[in-house]
Amino acid sequence: MSTYKLVCPACHGAMRIRSSVGQTPCFRSTYYQCQNLACGATFSGSVTIDYQLSPSGMAQPLMVLPIAPAIERMKALRESAKATDQLDLLDALEAAV
């Protein structure tokens, strides 16, 4: 599991999420606090989920987001490419989308 390192814009020290409030299933308001005792700055921000990169495995997901434009673009490029006898390593990905 990777962790996102939050950096204080004032002193470049480590920050933490002090609290967050869920506004919708895809949007949270967040409040940040610098861990540097000499700085102690606080900030507010947000976390959003904007696009779907791959479909859910659920039969009836509670929410379906639009497919990311980059994924749609890659799919369109593959579909418009000339047919060859060479196997495409990403055929399984296309079939899932």
Q: What is the pLDDT of residues 49-76, one digit of tens each?
A: 988 888 888 888 888 888 888 878 788 7
In this structure, the dihedral spanned by the alpha carbons of residues 93, 82, 77 and 88, taken in order and rounded to 10 degrees, is: 20
Nearest to 18, CA basis, from 2, 5, 29: 29
User: What pLDDT does 88 receive?
Assistant: 67
d(CA 95, CA 27): 30
CB 47 within 8 A of CB 27: yes
Q: What is the pLDDT of residues 7-45, one digit of tens each?
A: 999 999 999 999 999 999 999 999 999 999 999 999 999
CB 37 within 8 A of CB 80: no
Q: Is 31 helix (H, G, I), strand (E, B) or coil?
A: strand
User: What pLDDT does 61 receive?
Assistant: 86
